[in-house]
Structures are given as structure tokens and as C-alpha cells.
């Protein structure tokens, strides 16, 4: 475990990251940008496919990475840059991906790009030995992660064709049969043997497998018992016996990249998961212990986990020893009681308005959480989790300001990644880029105790190994994300805006905001502000639009209607910025407008919108304005109907 982490850490330390984020408008632009990585510098590349989900992924990454500049990248029209290729041809797509991966290993900008057939020889010259392998299909929507992780870690790619019968792409809620698992395993093993890779047994050349597969995450080992499933990512990388069944012997740690489940955002999601792993290191953690302090539950004690992370410099907020109930969870998820954030907010207010303005009541709203590693001990089913006391629902999971890796000790949370009413799917919708949880009832011993996971991560063990038992039969705990993701160490950063990233097809995203504002295209301006991490600016713009609307309405003659500035589409684009940083009344007005689009928005529909209301208003139920109460009354959720109705009634009584 430590050897693999040391190899992955050495690779991440070798190449500095430029102080810039590139936003690609499509897959071709993504490939074009990655092909400009060099051994002297690399830079994050994310995909904006026009969806709300992709905009929020970019926003989370930017808030965490804090680049000096953010550029849009478009592939130039010249055939030489576009590859003069047929995008529907599988072999040609794979060839273009190979070219981008190899080109990323070019030493300097002025050098001729490395060709795929010369990459192996270059690795030998550099004394570099691959320590992982990526498994991918050029037509699977997770291909951006395959390209980025192969180029970023220095991994060969096993290109396969995922049979349609497996359910790919998009069937992330389904399962493979035992025969399909054998077929997948045999295809991987045969390709590794043909390439001469030493992989049999941990400690050889290949100790990690990244399975880029926007398909099932489970395996049904026996047709006679179709209700029982084990995790696909815990079966790949195993030694198979004479009957071609996975055994307890492991030769690699596997993590699965699933993308967006066949949705429009699958490529964007896959790119996000890869870039978070390559360029971010968790520096803030939230640890919540919902277990009692007696055997066997105390083996998962989060207080000990917090100590292990603190030694590595990971700041954490700990909820344990009496702070283990639903109210404790909801307060923290809403953004209450994060010490470093309170200090930052006070410093900001002190700078803006002077020392006398700094007191608890005057601190500006700061909702959502900044934690980049979340570890929770709880119990329950796919759609709820039991605490001490209380029972949480999927809507209680926090909105993440930054990307996060989630270790969720709980039964069934990942039973169906396609169902956003289940816990793992909602965590992913909120911004998780790595997730460890169970596809079935694993029993407590199926999980590695939380203090051990924390200690491993702090010691430099990569994600795929840290969250798994070293000696165990294939089981029900899945590992999503890059198995080589690290917590320990930092990615070295080049100084200066852009850090020398200059090639054709780049434009400044900040300039796009200025243009949108000049043209009064507020929907576009709010979308761009969010992507740039400018939530406070977006909140101010939303407040200004509301004030301008109200002012215009007062000037109109009776019965006339002033032009609407805060349209439902503009509100939808600015909603999370408003949730994170707007004053309560402004947020309520934005949510009210956004709800007009909730039912028709498939990618980010009513449940996600409505959850923001409860996260923002529940801590203030006794102090809501009439406007806030009216909006809250429209947000009672079927998954927590009784609780929501009771809390709404409490708010309504308090307003009388």
C-alpha cells in the first residue's frame, strides 16, 4: 500500500501545475487541451457541456483550486488540430486519445510532440515504470477520465469494447452477471499479458486498475440468488480460480469511474473526477460519528480518525461524543460551526466594514460546507441514515462548495447509483468525486474501521487501497474514483496568472462575464460568475436585479407589468451562488423564481432545488420573514413529508 502511494506521490510531485484552469466546450477541445500538457507543467481541464451540473462541477473545482486565471479552450478549426477524424469511428477515436496521452509526455513546449509508438521508449529513457493501468472503451462516456488519468499518472490503457449486453453506457444502477465479470476480467488479463506487464501479485509493475466504465457497479455472483450483489470494483484486480471466480488473492486495487450514468453530463463528470484527483489534495475534513461508544462500534471512533488526519495537517471538524444526532448533522451541513470559515468571514467583514462590525450576528451568510474529505459512520437503508438520535434523509446531505471524497460506513448507500433518492447518488450529485460505500448489506466488518482509513490516507496510502481490507474475499463495498487519489502531500504550483499556458484557441472567461453584463444577458452572466467561483458577485447581481425589478414596478401605472429581470432561467443559474452567499431574503426570492423551472429541468430538478430551502431556512425557523415562509411552504418533500410539514407549521406559527 505505502509503496504504491509513494510511487503515485512521486509522480504528482514531479510535474508542477500551472495556476490556471481551462474550460473545454466539448470532447475535442478537451483532448486538444490535454495534448498540451508537458513534463514542465500541467493544468486542469474541465468540460462545460452547457448543463447546470457541469457548471456546478466547474464552480466547485475552481473554489478549491483558486487559479489566477480561467480560460475557455476551443479546438482551432484547422484539420491538423482537429485530427481530421471521424468522431463516430471507434478506432479513430482511440487513436486520437492515444495521441493526446503521448503528447502530454512531451518535455517542453518547443519540442515535437511525443508519438504514441514512442511513449514506451521515452518512459525507459526517463527511468519511469508504470504502476497502474487504465481500462477503457473509446465510446464509453468516461473516456475523458481515461485520457487524463493515463496521461497524468503515466499509465498504459487497455482499450476494450464493452458489449452492449453489459448495459453500457449509462446503466450504473444495474449489475453484471458472473459470466460477464469473467469476460471482463479475462479481457483485461489477456491484454496485460500480451503487453508483457508484470501484474500477478501486489508489489509488481501494476498495482492499480482504473476501470472507466459508465455502466454497472455491481455483480450478481449467483443467478440462484439474484437479490445479492457484490461490488464490481472489488472483483477486478483479483486472482480468479479454476472455475473463473474471483478469490481472496488480490493483484491490484481497483477504482471505478462511472461518469454521469449515460446523461449529457457523463463526459463532464468523468473529466471532473479525474482532475480533482490529479490536482487537488483534501486539506479540510468533516468527521461525523453516529455510532455508540462500545464494541464493536467504537472500532470506528471518529475522534481517533481526526487525530490521524490532524498529524498530516488536514484541518477537521469533528462531530462525536454527544454531537451525534440529526440536529447536529443538519447544523453542520447547513454551514454552521465551521471554525476556519467563521474566522475567514470575520476577517472579511473586518476589512470591509471595520472592527466594530464583527460579531456573531453580523457575520455574512456562508452556507454549504468546504470539507474536501467527509467520513461518516451511520446505519440504515439506501434512502435514510440513523443517527443518535434522529434519522436523516438524502435531502439532509450537505451542498459541497468544494469537491470531496466520501467514506460512508453504512449499509446499502450505493445500491443504485442511478437513483438520486439514494444516498450515494445524492452525494455524487452534490459534488463527490470519490466515494466508498456499500452496494448491499456488508455487515460492519465489511468496512475498514474509520481510524485505520484516516491513518492510511494520512500516511500516503492511495484511495483505492486505503478504503479496503488487504486480505478478504470479494465483497460489497465499492470504490468509486481514481484508486491512486492521494490525501498526503501537495501538488506543486507554478506562480503567475496562466503560468505560461499559451496556445491557439484560448480566451478569458472573465471577459465573457463583462460582455454578458454589458449586454444585460443576466442568465449567462450568473452562470459564468458561478463557474468562476464568484458567488459573492453573483449574489450581489441577484440582489440588484430584484431591487431594479421592484423599483420599476413602483413606477409602472396600476395594472401594468414591469419587465422581469430575475427570470426563472436566470434564477436557476444563480441559485447555488445565492444559497452559498446571498442574504436570506434574496435567496428566498431567487429560489421562488427557480422553482418555476424545477419540474421541467431533468438534470437538476425539484429535489435538489427544494433541499436548498431547508438547508438555508431550517436553522432560522423561528425568525423567517413572511416571504421566506411562503417559499418554504412550496418545498415540502415527499421523502420527509411529516418532518417538513411540522417544521413549516412551526415557522408559520412564529410569524403570527
Decide: 514 and 525 in contact? Cβ < 8 Å. Answer: no
pLDDT at position 166 is 77
- Give the whole-angstrom CA distance, residue 524 versus residue 114: 39
pLDDT at position 639 is 87
Under the banding of pLDDT at 50, 70 and 90, the label for residue 564 is: confident
The mean predicted confidence, pLDDT, of the chain is 89
Question: What would the pLDDT profile of 191-228 be if each residue is shown by its tens digit?
Answer: 988 887 777 777 677 899 999 999 999 999 887 787 88
- Give the whole-angstrom CA distance, residue 371 versus residue 56: 16
Under the banding of pLDDT at 50, 70 and 90, the label for residue 480 is: very high
Tell me how long the chain is. 656
Q: Before 216, cis peptide (omega within 30)?
A: no
Full-model pTM: 0.93
| Overall average pLDDT of the 473-490 stretch | 95
pLDDT at position 196 is 77
Decide: 105 and 126 in contact? Cβ < 8 Å. Answer: no
Cell of 309: 488526519
**pLDDT of 360 over the 60 cut:** no
Q: How many CA atoms lie within 13 Å of 548's alpha carbon, on the beta-carbon side?
A: 13
**pLDDT of 357 over the 80 cut:** no
pLDDT at position 361 is 45
Distance of CA 449 to the CA centre of its chain: 23
Where in the chain are the domains? 2-277, 282-477, 541-655
Alpha-carbon distance values, 131 to 4, 193, 572 (Å) = 7, 15, 44
Question: What would the pLDDT profile of 62-114 be if each residue is shown by its tens digit?
Answer: 999 999 999 999 998 754 443 344 556 778 889 999 999 999 999 988 999 99
Alpha-carbon distance values, 418 to 49, 66, 220 (Å) = 20, 31, 17
Distance of CA 41 to the CA centre of its chain: 24
pLDDT at position 81 is 44
pLDDT at position 292 is 95
Question: What would the pLDDT profile of 542-559 be if each residue is shown by its tens digit?
Answer: 999 999 998 887 876 655
**pLDDT of 472 over the 50 cut:** yes
Decide: 429 and 456 in contact? Cβ < 8 Å. Answer: no
pLDDT at position 194 is 86
| Overall average pLDDT of the 130-154 stretch | 95
Query: For residues 223 and 523, which has the higher predicted lDDT (pLDDT)?
Result: 523
Residue tagged 410569524 (cell numbers) = 655
Q: Before 296, cis peptide (omega within 30)?
A: yes
- Give the whole-angstrom CA distance, residue 21 versus residue 525: 19
| Overall average pLDDT of the 30-49 stretch | 96
**pLDDT of 12 over the 70 cut:** yes
Under the banding of pLDDT at 50, 70 and 90, the label for residue 601 is: very low
pLDDT at position 84 is 40
pLDDT at position 94 is 92
pLDDT above 90 covers a percentage of the chain that reads 73
Helix (H, G, I), strand (E, B) or coil at 239: strand
**pLDDT of 238 over the 80 cut:** yes
pLDDT at position 497 is 77
Determine whether 194 is exposed, middle or buried from the number of CB atoms within 10 Å of its CB (0-12, 13-18, 19+): exposed
pLDDT at position 117 is 95
**pLDDT of 295 over the 70 cut:** yes
Of 49-63, 211-225, 235-249, 591-605, the range with the lowest mean pLDDT is: 591-605
- The helix or strand, by DSSP H or E, that contains position 135, with its residue range, turns out to be strand 132-136
**pLDDT of 504 over the 90 cut:** yes
- Give the whole-angstrom CA distance, residue 582 versus residue 282: 26
Backbone angles phi, psi at 236, to 5 degrees: -75, 140
Decide: 398 and 430 in contact? Cβ < 8 Å. Answer: yes
CATH code of the domain occupying 282-477: 3.40.50
| Overall average pLDDT of the 274-290 stretch | 97
Cell of 476: 460489497
Backbone angles phi, psi at 402, to 5 degrees: -120, 155
Alpha-carbon distance values, 330 to 390, 645, 651 (Å) = 11, 17, 17
pLDDT at position 206 is 87
SS (H, E, C) 218-232: EEECCCCCCCCCEEH
- Give the whole-angstrom CA distance, residue 62 versus residue 85: 32
**pLDDT of 381 over the 50 cut:** yes
**pLDDT of 167 over the 70 cut:** no
Question: What would the pLDDT profile of 624-643 be if each residue is shown by its tens digit?
Answer: 999 999 999 999 988 899 99
Residue tagged 498529524 (cell numbers) = 311
**pLDDT of 445 over the 50 cut:** yes
Cell of 589: 426570492
Is beta strand 404-409 parallel, antiparallel or unpaired with respect to 373-377? parallel
Amino acid at each position: 500500500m505505502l509503496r504504491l502511494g509513494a510511487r503515485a506521490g512521486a509522480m504528482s510531485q514531479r510535474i508542477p501545475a500551472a495556476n490556471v484552469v481551462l474550460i473545454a466546450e466539448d470532447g475535442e477541445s478537451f483532448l486538444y487541451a490535454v495534448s498540451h500538457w508537458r513534463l514542465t507543467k500541467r493544468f486542469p481541464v474541465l468540460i462545460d457541456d452547457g448543463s447546470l451540473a457541469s457548471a456546478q462541477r466547474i464552480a466547485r473545482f475552481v473554489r478549491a483550486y483558486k487559479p489566477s486565471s480561467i480560460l475557455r479552450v476551443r479546438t482551432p478549426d484547422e484539420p491538423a488540430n482537429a485530427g481530421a477524424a471521424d468522431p463516430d469511428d471507434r478506432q479513430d477515436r482511440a487513436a486520437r486519445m492515444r495521441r493526446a496521452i503521448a503528447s502530454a509526455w512531451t518535455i517542453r513546449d518547443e519540442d515535437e510532440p511525443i508519438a504514441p509508438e514512442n511513449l514506451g521508449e521515452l518512459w525507459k529513457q526517463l527511468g519511469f515504470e508504470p504502476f497502474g493501468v487504465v481500462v477503457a472503451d473509446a465510446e464509453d462516456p468516461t473516456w475523458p477520465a481515461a485520457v487524463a488519468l493515463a496521461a497524468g499518472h503515466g499509465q498504459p490503457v487497455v482499450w476494450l469494447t464493452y458489449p452492449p449486453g453489459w448495459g453500457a453506457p449509462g446503466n450504473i444502477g444495474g449489475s453484471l452477471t458472473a459470466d460477464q465479470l469473467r469476460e471482463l476480467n479475462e479481457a483485461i488479463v489477456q491484454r496485460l499479458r500480451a503487453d508483457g506487464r508484470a501484474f500477478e501479485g501486489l508489489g509488481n509493475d501494476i498495482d492499480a486498475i482504473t476501470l472507466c466504465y459508465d455502466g454497472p457497479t455491481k455483480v450478481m455472483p449467483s443467478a440462484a440468488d439474484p437479490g445479492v450483489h457484490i461490488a464490481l470494483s472489488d472483483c477486478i484486480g483479483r486472482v480468479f480460480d479454476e472455475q473463473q471466480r474471483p478469490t481472496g488473492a488480490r493483484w491490484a486495487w481497483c477504482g471505478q469511474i462511472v461518469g454521469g450514468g449515460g446523461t449529457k453530463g457523463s463526459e463532464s463528470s468523468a473529466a471532473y473526477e479525474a482532475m480533482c484527483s490529479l490536482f487537488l489534495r483534501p486539506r479540510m475534513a468533516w468527521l461525523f460519528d453516529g455510532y455508540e461508544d462500545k464494541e464493536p462500534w467504537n472500532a470506528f471512533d471518529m475522534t481517533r480518525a481526526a487525530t490521524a488526519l490532524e498529524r498530516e495537517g488536514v484541518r477537521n471538524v469533528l462531530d462525536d461524543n454527544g454531537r451525534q444526532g440529526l440536529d447536529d448533522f443538519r447544523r453542520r451541513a447547513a454551514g454552521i460551526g465551521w471554525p476556519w470559515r467563521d474566522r475567514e468571514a470575520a476577517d472579511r467583514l473586518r476589512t470591509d466594514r471595520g472592527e466594530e462590525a464583527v460579531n456573531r450576528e453580523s457575520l455574512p451568510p456562508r452556507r454549504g460546507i468546504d470539507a474536501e474529505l467527509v467520513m461518516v459512520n451511520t446505519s440504515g437503508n439506501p434512502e435514510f441514515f440513523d443517527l443518535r438520535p434522529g434519522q436523516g434523509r438524502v435531502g439532509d446531505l450537505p451542498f459541497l462548495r468544494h469537491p470531496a471524497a466520501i467514506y460512508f460506513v453504512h449499509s446499502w448507500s450505493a445500491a443504485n447509483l442511478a437513483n438520486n433518492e439514494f444516498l450515494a447518488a445524492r452525494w455524487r450529485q452534490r459534488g463527490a468525486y470519490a466515494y466508498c460505500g456499500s452496494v448491499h448489506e456488508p455487515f460492519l466488518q465489511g468496512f475498514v474501521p474509520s481510524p485505520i482509513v484516516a491513518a492510511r490516507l494520512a500516511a500516503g496510502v492511495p484511495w483505492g487501497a486505503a478504503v479496503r481490507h488487504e486480505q478478504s474475499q470479494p465483497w460489497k463495498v465499492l470504490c468509486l474514483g481514481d484508486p491512486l487519489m492521494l490525501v498526503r502531500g501537495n501538488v506543486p504550483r507554478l506562480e503567475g496568472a496562466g503560468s505560461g499556458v499559451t496556445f491557439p484557441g484560448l480566451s478569458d472567461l472573465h471577459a465573457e462575464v463583462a460582455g454578458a453584463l454589458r449586454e444585460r444577458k443576466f442568465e449567462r452572466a450568473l452562470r459564468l460568475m458561478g463557474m468562476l467561483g464568484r458567488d459573492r458577485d453573483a449574489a450581489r447581481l441577484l440582489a440588484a436585479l430584484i431591487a431594479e425589478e421592484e423599483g420599476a414596478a413602483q413606477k409602472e401605472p396600476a395594472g401594468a407589468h414591469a419587465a422581469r429581470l430575475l427570470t426563472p432561467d436566470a434564477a436557476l443559474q444563480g441559485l447555488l451562488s445565492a444559497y452559498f452567499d446571498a442574504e436570506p431574503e434574496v435567496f428566498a426570492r431567487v429560489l421562488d423564481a427557480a422553482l418555476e423551472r424545477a419540474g421541467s429541468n431533468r438534470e437538476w430538478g425539484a429535489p435538489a432545488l427544494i433541499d436548498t430551502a431547508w438547508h438555508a431556512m431550517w436553522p432560522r425557523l423561528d425568525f423567517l420573514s413572511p416571504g421566506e415562509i411562503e417559499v418554504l411552504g412550496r418545498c415540502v418533500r415527499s421523502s420527509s413529508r411529516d418532518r417538513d410539514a411540522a417544521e413549516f407549521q412551526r415557522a408559520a406559527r412564529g410569524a403570527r
